[in-house]
Structure 1
């Protein structure tokens, strides 16, 4: 059975890239464009990994990571932050919020896949 990955990304091009790349490597992916419905989608999909953009409209990825970490059924799921925030203090803040992994945009496809495989 393929590993399941929930992708939370509001940029259509990035979302398509992540989905196409992961599907090509035999992952089962569920795209989420708006963080407001993300927790409910995570409950229904029960992913093995969540890929989280940090800069989202309506609710930040940091807030979502905090909610996931406080949710009994979801708190064990690794979260890989993928963000344009690339300063060392940004990574520290994102990891302190509860992200398991961190990749700065623009992504390296090879590094992205390696990070995904490491977290699953």
Structure 2
């Protein structure tokens, strides 16, 4: 079964790293470069899981998670936060917004793949 992933990150390097890490493992990856772009991409996509950064221009990860959770078709889609941030306060804020899990950058490929497969069900 192919798992469709939407990866939202303002860093082209990080989007490329996520895509490379997942493509070889049979994931189908779509990318967006910030929260606003992520919402635009979601209009034509029903991902199995979403990965988002927190610190992005135009719309940060918290705003993006709120917006995703406000849409009927993505209310239950698992969202993993992938960020350099590691404070408990931000993790709690993300969980309260509706994030499913939290992974700190730089990420270990096997850990990311395991987390995605777990939340995608």
Interval containing the TM-score (normalised by the shorter chain): over 0.9
Aligned length: 120
Who is 1:117 aligned against?
A: 117
Paired residues of 1:43 and 1:73 also in contact (CA < 8 A): no
* Distance in 2 of aligned mates of 1:106 and 1:34: 19
* Distance in 1 of aligned mates of 2:37 and 2:88: 30
Q: Is it true that 1:12 corresponds to 2:12 in the alignment?
A: yes
Who is 1:74 aligned against?
A: 74
Counterparts of residues 12-51 of structure 1 (less than 5 Å): 12-51=12-51
Paired residues of 2:9 and 2:33 also in contact (CA < 8 A): yes
Q: CA RMSD in A?
A: 1.1
Consecutive unaligned residues of structure 2, counting only runs of 5 or more, are: none
* Distance in 1 of aligned mates of 2:27 and 2:105: 21
* SS of equivalent residue, structure 2 residue 43: helix
* Distance in 1 of aligned mates of 2:109 and 2:74: 27
Q: Detail structure 1 runs of 4+ shifted over 4 Å in the superposition.
A: none
